[in-house]
Every structure is written in C-alpha cells, then in structure tokens.
Amino acid sequence: MNKMNKKILSLAVMLPMFLCSFAQNDVTKEKFTPFYQMADAPHMEKVLPAPPALTDSRFFYDWTQYQWGKSIRETERGIQAIADAGICARYFMERYGEAIGIELTADKYPEMFRLFSRLHLTEQQGGASAKAFFHRVRPYQQYKEPTSVPQHENPEDFTSYPSGHTHASWLVGLALMVIDPAHAEEIMKVAYELGQSRVIVGFHYQSDVDAGRLCGSVTFARLQSMPEYQKMMEKAIKEFQKNQKK
C-alpha cells in the first residue's frame, strides 16, 4: 500500500470518529432534568387566586380579551402568536435574540441553551399541581371554537389555569435579563408578548396568562437559593460576556 492510500485509509477511519465526537458534543442532543420535581416546587394553587367563574364580573375581561385575540388572528401579530406556540430552549433563544439584536444559537451559547432547557422543565414541575387543582376549561373548549393552532387542541385537556407557556416565557425572560441587563426592556417586552400570544391563538384566558407571569416570578425567586442553578447562571453569564467581546 503506497503512502497516498495509507493517508486516505487513515482519514476514512478518523472521519466517522470525528463526526461521532461532534454529535456527542451537540448540546441539543443532551438530556436535561428540571432543577426540582413537583413535590419540591412551590404549590402555586396556594399562591394564586381561583380563576374567575363564568358568573364572576372579572370574567368579562377574560371574554373581551378573547374577542380581541380572535379579531387579530389574521394579522401579522396573529401569525407571530402561532409561532410562539412552539416554545422550547431553541425558540426562546431565537425569539429573544431577535429582540436584543444578538444571534443566540445553541452552538454559540451552549450554556444558555442548557439553562433555558432546564428552566422550561422546571416550569412544568412548578405549575403542574395548580393546573390539576383548578382544572380550568380552555377558551376553545368553552366556546367550542377553533384556535389558531388546532394541532395542539385536546378536548380533555382542562389545564388552562395558570398558563404554562407564559410561566416558562416569563421565567426565561427574567433569567436572560440577569445575563444581559443592558437589554432588560426589550427582553421583558418579548416575555410579555409571548404570554399575550396565548390569548390571541385562543388557548388561554387573560387571567390564565396573568397568573402564569406570577408563577414565573415565584419560580425565578425560588431558584435563586439553589447552588446548582447559581452555577449554571454564572456559566451562562460568563459565556455571554465572552461572546460579546469577540
């Protein structure tokens, strides 16, 4: 075997190993866990007021906001609300990144991706008991009208209150504001919009969204005392500052 063939053979053997190593280092393929389980989470049903009943005067605001949401579904804002339904760490980075004028991707900011992934999972643990306790019917179920995201509809999913999407969006927004305080206003404006998107598509009442924001603040405060969270936040801050210096 000549030298050229030996080199080609060597490359052929090493290339799959390199690709495998690259795949293993892909942060989006990692498995994540919440910072705590439901049993250790603040029980939001002990914090939140009960959602307004249909006969409650407060429900009129829910109804008017539902009508407002339907009225703008065909607009550019309505189209954005559909996109906002598919939240995940990658989408959070994309959506918030656009607002602050920085390309936030998993390959450039893996520590941020890890943090946001775990925050999203933590929200699911933190809001589960309240959703089960209040067992609230969603707007599209109440009015028997289609939403903007029919693929997500479930006639037996009575978990409208509080809004999990809003809980997660607000929580991630608060965390990102710590990482990038210079863009606090832009970040929290998006956090607010992500919650309102749930009203627009018809998946949540306004009171569900308002409660979700409160849940996000409670979860954020709870995490501040956890060393594991503090370490991840510190890594994300250092990573962000390092990338901004390039």
Q: Is the pLDDT of residue 105 over 60?
A: yes
Let me know if 208 is a catalytic residue.
Answer: yes
Which one of the listed residues 95, 198, 210, 213 is annotated catalytic? Answer: 198
Give the pLDDT of residue 25.
65
Span 177-196, average pLDDT? 98
Let me know if 198 is a catalytic residue.
Answer: yes
Q: How remote is the C-alpha of 245 from its chain's centroid?
A: 27
pLDDT tens digits, 31-47? 999 999 999 999 999 99
Distance CA 61, CA 66 (A): 8
Which one of the listed residues 118, 120, 204, 213 is annotated catalytic? Answer: 204
Span 185-196, average pLDDT? 98
The CATH code belonging to domain 52-245 is 1.20.144.10
Q: Is the pTM of this model over 0.75?
A: yes
Q: Is the pLDDT of residue 213 over 60?
A: yes
* Alpha-carbon distance values, 44 to 162, 205, 222, 238 (Å): 9, 18, 12, 32
Domain ranges of the chain: 52-245
Rounded to 10 deg, the angle between the 184-200 and 206-223 helix axes is 140
Which one of the listed residues 62, 84, 180, 208 is annotated catalytic? Answer: 208
Q: Is the pLDDT of residue 12 over 60?
A: no
Average pLDDT taken over every residue of the chain: 91
pLDDT tens digits, 214-235? 999 999 999 999 999 999 999 9
Which one of the listed residues 118, 165, 183, 213 is annotated catalytic? Answer: 165
- Among the residue ranges 8-17, 79-88, 153-162, the one predicted with the least confidence is 8-17
> pLDDT confidence of 3, banded at 50, 70, 90?
very low
pLDDT tens digits, 137-148? 999 999 999 999
pLDDT tens digits, 106-129? 999 999 999 999 999 999 999 999
Span 235-242, average pLDDT? 98
Span 48-62, average pLDDT? 97
Span 160-175, average pLDDT? 98
Contacts of 22 (CB under 8 A, 6+ apart): none
Let me know if 95 is a catalytic residue.
Answer: no
Phi, psi of 27 (to 5 degrees): -60, -30
